Amino acid sequence: MTRFVCKPGGSLDGNFRVPGDKSISHRSIILASIADGSSHISGFLQGEDSLNTMRAFQQMGVPIARNQGEVTVSGVGLHGLQAPATDLDMGNSGTAMRLLLGLLAGQSFDARLIGDSSLSSRPMLRVIQPLQQMGAVIESADGGRAPLQVRGGQVLESIDYRMPVASAQVKSCLLLAGLYARGETIVHEPAPTRDHSERMLRGFGCDVASNAGEIRLRGNQALSACDIDVPADISSAAFFMVAASIASDSDITLQHVGINPTRTGVIDILKLMGADIDIVNRQEIGGEPVADIRVCSAALSGIEIPESLVPLAIDEFPVLFVAAACAVGETRLSGAEELRVKESDRIQAMADGLTRLGIETEVKPDGIIIQGGKLGGGEIDSHGDHRIAMAFSVASLAARRDICIRDCSNVNTSFPGFAELAQRAGIRISIDAG
Ligand code: S3P
């Protein structure tokens, strides 16, 4: 079992690019597969999650050629997917499972979605229930968990759905099902969530209207192929933003990072804590804003995290908790119960690890209170969660003793080459392959 062994201290410098955006990579394969014509994707994330999505579409008869991060998808059109011969394995990825469920609900064939033990314990009723209201036939394991069996050949009706949780996965699932439904699908979001699906559907020539938290899409619209330049993932860049902030004498520039405003909560939160972050070289590429992000060391202070920023930073909280542990004073987070149903229970997993390092935390059902302090060292369990593993690697910069992190192989789901890049940037990390 892969362990990260991190020596204390270090500073960061350099100018580098982290791997491609995971959300955009998944969507690029999904949309290009059901488009008419051939789409070229560059900067595709070569992580296990997005590669699983790619394999699923190959299993459904889509010709896809990949050379590293360059991918060419020969789209088969809205109704051109074929029945897969075997189960579609989504591995660790909630995004892949929930988005594919929406797409599969509208196909003429049956399919079965499976995942690893973490994914098989995550809630799927949030997508199963609205899809059933549209006419989908889905069978699940107890409590609405994977494996999920989808019965094809149903006639889907559009839905007007108020999402109880602010979830881009639920929204995107329903928009994909909506492509196969009669009438206009309308999704209302309780708070803004990442809007890559809407932007990318438009890029593929689809008519999608978004206004004041209401997204509308007519069924049966054909998609036309389009080329996609996947920016670097701000969720992966976030580890280095916190790293350069908490380590002394650091100055890094992260290149070509996606700064879609539905994803930049991490920058806003770090700036509220006193981080020294500059966004330079702003451009718009393929409908997504992209920029270089310069981060220098800074003295951070604890804050009350505004609840409005929670959905905009939802994947960055593990490393933001490390920033909070290194800040002067108290940081309070509430309204973040969704963190409990990610790849692990991220509130508990982070609280346990920080406690192990000597940081005082108070866990709440929907958040946490963290007292900034001095970090010791010790053995941390990542619970097989990529972002927990990477967050504690960053913590080593401010630690006084070694930090060893167990169960790190899932870092490859979102950030292949993390340890190597982190080491080059200045984190004293090594991999113990066990
Ligand atoms: C994602 C949406 C978010 C996020 C996940 C990726 C997406 O999940 O946590 O990593 O690509 O749509 P929720 O929709 O559950 O908030």
CATH of the domain at 273: 3.65.10.10
Say whether both 220 and 293 belong to one domain. no
Say whether both 202 and 305 belong to one domain. no
Number of domains in the chain: 2
104 confidence band (pLDDT: 50, 70, 90)? very high
Rounded Cα–Cα distance for residues 127 and 97 (Å): 10
- 251 annotated active-site: no
Say whether both 243 and 136 belong to one domain. no
Say whether both 248 and 164 belong to one domain. no
Could you tell which of 21, 22, 23 is best to mutate to test the pocket of ligand 1, judged by most ligand atoms within 8 Å of the CB?
23
Query: Ligand 1: which atom is nearest the Cα of residue 99?
Result: 12
- Residue 168 Cα to ligand 1 midpoint, Å, equals 6
- Where among 182, 207, 229 does a domain terminate? 229
Of all residues in the chain, the percent with pLDDT exceeding 90 is 99
User: At 284, which amino acid appears?
Assistant: E
Find the mean pLDDT for residues 411-428.
98
The pLDDT of residue 93: 98
CA 36 to chain centre: 27
1 confidence band (pLDDT: 50, 70, 90)? confident
Say whether both 197 and 270 belong to one domain. no
User: At 173, which amino acid appears?
Assistant: C
Q: Which residues line ligand 1 (CB under 6 A)?
A: 23, 95, 167-169, 172, 194, 314-315, 338
The pLDDT of residue 205: 98
Taking alpha carbons only, the member of 89, 18, 16, 8 closest to residue 48 is: 89
User: At 5, which amino acid appears?
Assistant: V
Could you tell which of 50, 95, 119, 260 is best to mutate to test the pocket of ligand 1, judged by most ligand atoms within 8 Å of the CB?
95
Could you tell which of 27, 93, 167, 201 is best to mutate to test the pocket of ligand 1, judged by most ligand atoms within 8 Å of the CB?
167
Please determine, for residue 179, whether its predicted confidence score (pLDDT) is greater than 90: yes
* Alpha-helical regions (H) of 283-367: 317-326, 346-356
The pLDDT of residue 366: 98
Rounded Cα–Cα distance for residues 395 and 389 (Å): 10
Say whether both 316 and 194 belong to one domain. no
* Surface-to-core class of residue 284, CB atoms within 10 Å of its CB (0-12 exposed, 13-18 middle, 19+ buried): exposed
Find the mean pLDDT for residues 250-266.
98
Of all residues in the chain, the percent with pLDDT exceeding 70 is 100
Query: Ligand 1: which atom is nearest the Cα of residue 314?
Result: 9
Query: Ligand 1: which atom is nearest the Cα of residue 170?
Result: 14
- Where among 177, 199, 229 does a domain terminate? 229
Taking alpha carbons only, the member of 427, 358, 424 closest to residue 16 is: 424
> Helix 168-178 crosses helix 125-133 at what angle (to 10 degrees)?
30
Please determine, for residue 61, whether its predicted confidence score (pLDDT) is greater than 80: yes
User: At 215, which amino acid appears?
Assistant: I
- Residue 428 Cα to ligand 1 midpoint, Å, equals 30
Query: Considering only CA atoms, which residue is closest to atom 9 of ligand 1?
Result: 315
pLDDT tens profile 264-310: 999 999 999 999 999 999 999 989 999 999 999 999 999 999 999 99
Find the mean pLDDT for residues 369-379.
98
Please give the full DSSP string across 140-203, using - where no structure is assigned. EETTTEEEEEEE----EE--EEE-SS--HHHHHHHHHHHTTEESEEEEE-SS----HHHHHHHH
Say whether both 82 and 53 belong to one domain. yes
- Residue 129 Cα to ligand 1 midpoint, Å, equals 18
Please give the full DSSP string across 300-324, using - where no structure is assigned. -B--BPPGGGTGGGGGGHHHHHHHH
Beta-strand pair 3-6/429-432 = antiparallel
Q: Select which of 292, 315, 385, 407 is catalytic.
A: 315
Say whether both 83 and 172 belong to one domain. yes
Find the mean pLDDT for residues 110-122.
98
pLDDT tens profile 125-140: 999 999 999 999 999 9
CA angle 69, 264, 125 (to 5 degrees): 80
The pLDDT of residue 161: 98
Please determine, for residue 434, whether its predicted confidence score (pLDDT) is greater than 90: no
- Residue 314 Cα to ligand 1 midpoint, Å, equals 8
- Residue 434 Cα to ligand 1 midpoint, Å, equals 31
Say whether both 269 and 391 belong to one domain. yes
Taking alpha carbons only, the member of 130, 137, 136, 104 closest to residue 188 is: 130
* C-alpha dist (Å) from residue 230 to 22, 200, 257, 260, 347: 9, 11, 9, 12, 30
Please determine, for residue 160, whether its predicted confidence score (pLDDT) is greater than 80: yes
Please determine, for residue 209, whether its predicted confidence score (pLDDT) is greater than 80: yes
The pLDDT of residue 108: 98
Say whether both 9 and 36 belong to one domain. no
The pLDDT of residue 86: 98
Rounded Cα–Cα distance for residues 194 and 311 (Å): 8
Say whether both 69 and 7 belong to one domain. no
Query: Considering only CA atoms, which residue is closest to atom 13 of ligand 1?
Result: 167
This prediction has a pTM of 0.98
Rounded Cα–Cα distance for residues 301 and 331 (Å): 8
Please give the full DSSP string across 73-115, using - where no structure is assigned. EEEE-TT-----SS-EE-TT-HHHHHHHHHHHHTSSS-EEEE-
Say whether both 356 and 289 belong to one domain. yes
Mean residue pLDDT of the chain comes to 98
- Where among 178, 197, 229 does a domain terminate? 229
Residue span of the structural domain in which 171 resides: 22-229
212 contacts: CB under 8 Å, gap ≥ 6: none
Q: Please state the three-class secondary structure of 118-136 as a single string.
A: CHHHCCCHHHHHHHHHCCC
339 confidence band (pLDDT: 50, 70, 90)? very high
The pLDDT of residue 413: 98
Query: Considering only CA atoms, which residue is closest to atom 11 of ligand 1?
Result: 23
